[in-house]
């Protein structure tokens, strides 16, 4: 029962250890950056910081794309930004579905007035390049291939490089969900020639939730520029947003940027740059191995086969006879430790243990293993 | 010229006094709340806080609408949320345009596949109820009347109560832009029977930018429920968002909420509640009078006629022979004081001086007047 409005007080959250599918543990320096004094969204100081955010995002994405920025809303809006800008009504899009987010892509395609051709793989399996190639051959009129690089709902990593090559061979652009991959596993936008890629601030970047980094290749930009229909979303129309994020001279007002959240993103990207991508990828892998060793001892097995496992998102099968909700509740109330529930097909069957960004540390692995051991006793 | 990526350091903004059109000065307690430890977006502690945000928003909007929440993106997305959920393709919407944001409403209507019937008034004038009534009579097939309560681009306040009454008399729903009015001037959603109202966090609430409070009347909800087309935006589809913000039992995942920004909104709304709406309205009016008295002495006049002036957004005419950009630059570099440039038709002709929320204080008025006096000398 909600309390009376007159009883409401300032919110004082408990400090949790966040080992779910995100938000992940935030770098302390990122929380400090977040609360620095707000400046105007057209202040020259802020514009200069945005330029740095773009440079740091280009590093994180491994791209020289000039059209690289952060959408002022969560990853779901980043997904929608890619679809509404690249897909026109009447087009056909091949959508790979091996978890929740492939299905969300289908929703986006259909709401653009386009047709989604679904390529289904099992939850926990990667996207099958063979099935994708067959679909591309069967649908030579498709304009776009859309797939999830790192499926947050299952912990499976798909071969983005191969999928993008197949798309190019069949004249398709690619829309790639890198929400959970960015910063956690190799993601090389230019080398792999990905066209439209979106991510989220609250996963392996260890920034607060609410922003969606995106990058568009020159091929994607050309497609946007040759559109015959207006983008159905004014807020997400990237041709308008770019007037604020770019330009040698004057920046034009589009919407009021989330100033403080961008301070936080700047700081988290700077941390990633200073650590170095290769080091960050290795750290995620190392912590995953430590977690796996401990889970093996507890007899807990993975949903995803070894070659396709994301180190940063460990979906594990809930042992027989164990009360899913009771265990998560115990971890939360006794240890202030959050792990993720299963989503969609995996609801009640799996837990999702995140080792993302700042959360990929020995102390988090040790806490999680010991707390799970006690909870399952 | 951007510096090399290896030279980038943590961003340390200068403390500015924000007297533009928003973001406004942030309450120090709001910045503190912002940087509290992040918890999960489905954490019971967070869900309870969201319920409090809803209660506090209902107070701020003066409504009992159960469908009251904060969109996880800026006010422009709040605007779009109202249009894409309430307007279906083929409908006719009467849009009042007396500044930038009425024209943005037109963009939204057209991108929904609907027809906008424009009712134009001069920049700086309020929306004319007579013209609106004539348009409603001339277009009996219109479904919706859309107007801006407080035009941020001009500082004019329109008579939302009368406009909403006219709309009802002609069987139209209302979509109302209250971005700059909420917390600054009377806004009574239930008493005035407004149907869909959106605002922004960064104006008279003195919260950080990035969130858009919205409220929908039962009439608006009924319209949403009787839609024959899917909402074109997945991210802004309120029937899906409500599954996360509401429900007696389980909350369903839609997108990852901007957790820390919502801490900040909670704190800013609590401040407004504790001050009391009537007191906040009076404080904005009092500070406006102080500012006006000082501007009179400087010979600076208002764009908007007295009865329609917003106390929180003072659009003033740049005196003849004064270099717009040079003065604003001087205020920013010498006094760390931001005032707003003119927008659209008023670019180069007006300044916009905000007295919003925490910014509506004697010290801000005094700083602004003395700095302007020196700059114009």
Yes or no: say if B337 and B331 are a contact pair by the CB < 8 Å rule: yes
Q: So what's the pLDDT on residue B339?
A: 98
Same domain, B238 and B215: yes
Of A238, A273, A308, the position where a domain reaches its end is A273
**CA-based nearest residue to B145, from B111, B189, B176:** B176
Q: Is residue B6 part of a domain?
A: no
Same domain, B235 and B307: no
Of B216, B243, B272, the position where a domain reaches its end is B272
3-class secondary structure per residue, chain A: CCCCHHHCCCCCCCCCEEECCCCCCCCHHHHHHHCCCCCCCCCHHHHHHHHHHHHHHHHHHCCCCCEEEEECCCHHHHHHHHHHHHCCCCCEEEEEECCHHHHHHHHHHHHCCCEEEEEECCCCCCCCHHHHHHHHHHCCCCCEEEEECEECCCCEECCHHHHHHHHHHCCCEEEEECCCCCCCCCCCCCCCCCCEEECCCCCCCCCCCCCEEEEECHHHHHHHHCCCCCCCCCCCCHHHHHHHHCCCCCCCCCCCCCHHHHHHHHHHHHHHHHHCHHHHHHHHHHHHHHHHHHHHHHCCCECCCHHHECCCEEEEECCCCCCHHHHHHHHHHHHCEEEEECCHHHCCCEEEEECCHHHCCHHHHHHHHHHHHHHHC
Does the pLDDT value for residue A354 go beyond 80? yes
CATH code assigned at A290: 3.90.1150.10
Distance in angstroms (rounded) separating the CA atoms of residues B111 and A233: 7
Find the CB nearest A38 among B18, B40, B255: B18
Q: So what's the pLDDT on residue B248?
A: 61
| Contact status of B157 with chain A (Cβ, < 8 Å) | no
Nearest CA in chain B to A153: B253
| Mean pLDDT confidence for A345-373 | 97
Does the pLDDT value for residue B35 go beyond 90? yes
Same domain, A76 and A116: yes
Interchain contact, A80 vs B234, CB within 8 Å: yes
Distance in angstroms (rounded) separating the CA atoms of residues A334 and A373: 13
Summarised one tens digit per residue, pLDDT across range B279-305 is 999 999 999 999 999 999 999 999 999
pLDDT band at B247 (very low <50, low <70, confident <90, very high): low
Instruction: Please give the order of strands across the beta sheet that includes A144-148.
Output: A67-71, A212-216, A196-198, A173-177, A144-148, A92-97, A115-120
| Mean pLDDT confidence for A101-122 | 98
Distance in angstroms (rounded) separating the CA atoms of residues A339 and A326: 12
| Mean pLDDT confidence for B214-219 | 98
Interchain contact, A36 vs B43, CB within 8 Å: no
Domain range holding A293?
A: 15-24+276-376
Of A244, A273, A302, the position where a domain reaches its end is A273
Does the pLDDT value for residue B21 go beyond 90? yes
pLDDT band at B250 (very low <50, low <70, confident <90, very high): confident
B173 min Cα distance to partner chain A (Å): 22
Same domain, A293 and A269: no
pLDDT band at A287 (very low <50, low <70, confident <90, very high): very high
B150 min Cα distance to partner chain A (Å): 17
Q: Is residue B9 part of a domain?
A: no
Q: Is residue B4 part of a domain?
A: no
Same domain, A211 and A298: no
Q: Is residue A8 part of a domain?
A: no
Which residues on chain B are in Cβ contact (under 8 Å) with A80?
233-235
Summarised one tens digit per residue, pLDDT across range B60-86 is 999 999 999 999 999 999 999 999 999
Q: Is residue B8 part of a domain?
A: no
A176 min Cα distance to partner chain B (Å): 17
Q: So what's the pLDDT on residue B230?
A: 96
| Mean pLDDT confidence for B236-258 | 86
Q: So what's the pLDDT on residue A249?
A: 63
Same domain, A71 and A158: yes
Same domain, A305 and A160: no
Summarised one tens digit per residue, pLDDT across range A90-101 is 999 999 999 999
pLDDT band at B242 (very low <50, low <70, confident <90, very high): confident
| Contact status of B296 with chain A (Cβ, < 8 Å) | no
Give A322 or B247, the one with higher predicted confidence: A322
Same domain, A266 and A304: no
Which residues on chain A are in Cβ contact (under 8 Å) with B10?
29, 33, 266-267, 270
| Contact status of B286 with chain A (Cβ, < 8 Å) | no
Question: ipTM surpassing 0.95, yes or no?
Answer: yes
pLDDT band at B128 (very low <50, low <70, confident <90, very high): very high
In terms of DSSP H, where are the helices of B226-361?
A: 238-245, 259-275, 277-297, 324-335
What is the pairing mode between strands A173-177 and A144-148? parallel
3-state SS, residue B82: helix
Number of domains in chain A: 2
| Mean pLDDT confidence for A225-230 | 96
Same domain, B179 and B49: yes
Q: So what's the pLDDT on residue B251?
A: 83
Average pLDDT, chain B: 96
Find the CB nearest B23 among A36, A40, A45: A40
Same domain, A211 and A162: yes
Interchain contact, B11 vs A73, CB within 8 Å: no
Which residues on chain B are in Cβ contact (under 8 Å) with A230?
110-111
| Mean pLDDT confidence for A328-342 | 98
Q: Is residue B220 part of a domain?
A: yes
State what percent of residues in chain A have pLDDT above 70.
Answer: 99
Same domain, B268 and B208: yes
**CA-based nearest residue to B60, from A9, A38, A5, A3:** A5
CATH code assigned at A162: 3.40.640.10
Summarised one tens digit per residue, pLDDT across range A166-208 is 999 999 999 999 999 999 999 999 999 999 999 999 999 999 9
| Mean pLDDT confidence for A326-336 | 98
Interchain contact, B254 vs A46, CB within 8 Å: no
Strand spans (E) along B84-165: 92-97, 115-120, 144-148, 150-151, 156-157
Summarised one tens digit per residue, pLDDT across range B322-352 is 999 999 999 999 999 999 999 998 999 999 9
pLDDT band at B2 (very low <50, low <70, confident <90, very high): low
| Mean pLDDT confidence for A230-239 | 96
Q: Is residue A217 part of a domain?
A: yes
Q: Is residue B2 part of a domain?
A: no
Same domain, B366 and B304: yes
pLDDT band at B252 (very low <50, low <70, confident <90, very high): confident
Q: So what's the pLDDT on residue A348?
A: 96
């Amino acid at each position: 029962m909600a309390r009376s409005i007159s009883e409401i007080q300032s919110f004082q959250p408990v400090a949790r250890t966040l080992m779910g599918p995100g938000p992940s543990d935030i770098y302390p320096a990122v929380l400090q950056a977040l609360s620095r004094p707000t400046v105007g969204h057209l202040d020259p100081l802020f514009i200069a910081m945005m330029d740095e955010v773009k440079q740091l995002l280009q590093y994180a994405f491994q791209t020289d794309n000039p059209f690289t920025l952060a959408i002022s809303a969560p990853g779901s809006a980043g997904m929608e930004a890619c679809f509404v800008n690249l897909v026109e009504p009447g087009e056909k899009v091949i959508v790979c579905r091996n978890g929740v987010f492939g299905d969300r892509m289908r929703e986006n395609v259909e709401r653009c007035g386009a047709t989604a051709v679904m390529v289904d793989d099992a939850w926990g399996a990667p996207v099958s390049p063979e099935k994708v190639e067959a679909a591309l051959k069967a649908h030579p009129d498709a304009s776009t291939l859309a797939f999830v690089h790192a499926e947050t709902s299952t912990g499976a990593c798909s071969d983005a490089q191969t999928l993008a090559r197949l798309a190019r061979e069949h004249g398709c652009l690619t829309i790639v969900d890198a929400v959970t991959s960015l910063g956690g596993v190799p993601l090389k936008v230019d080398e792999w020639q990905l066209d439209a890629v979106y991510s989220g601030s609250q996963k392996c970047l260890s920034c607060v939730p609410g922003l969606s980094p995106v990058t568009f290749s020159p091929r994607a930009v050309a497609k946007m520029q040759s559109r015959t229909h207006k983008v159905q979303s004014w807020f997400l129309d990237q041709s308008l947003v770019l007037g604020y994020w770019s330009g040698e001279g004057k920046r034009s007002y589009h919407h009021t940027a989330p100033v403080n959240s961008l301070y936080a993103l700047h700081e988290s990207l700077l941390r990633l740059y200073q650590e170095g991508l290769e080091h960050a990828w290795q750290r995620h892998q190392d912590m995953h191995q430590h977690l796996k060793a401990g889970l093996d001892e507890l007899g807990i097995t993975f949903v995803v086969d070894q070659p396709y496992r994301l180190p940063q998102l460990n979906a594990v099968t809930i042992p027989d006879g164990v009360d899913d909700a009771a265990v998560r509740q115990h971890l939360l109330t006794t240890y202030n430790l959050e792990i993720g529930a299963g989503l969609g097909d995996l609801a009640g069957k799996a837990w999702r243990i995140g080792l993302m960004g700042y959360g990929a540390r020995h102390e988090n692995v040790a806490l999680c293993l010991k707390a799970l051991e006690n909870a399952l006793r």
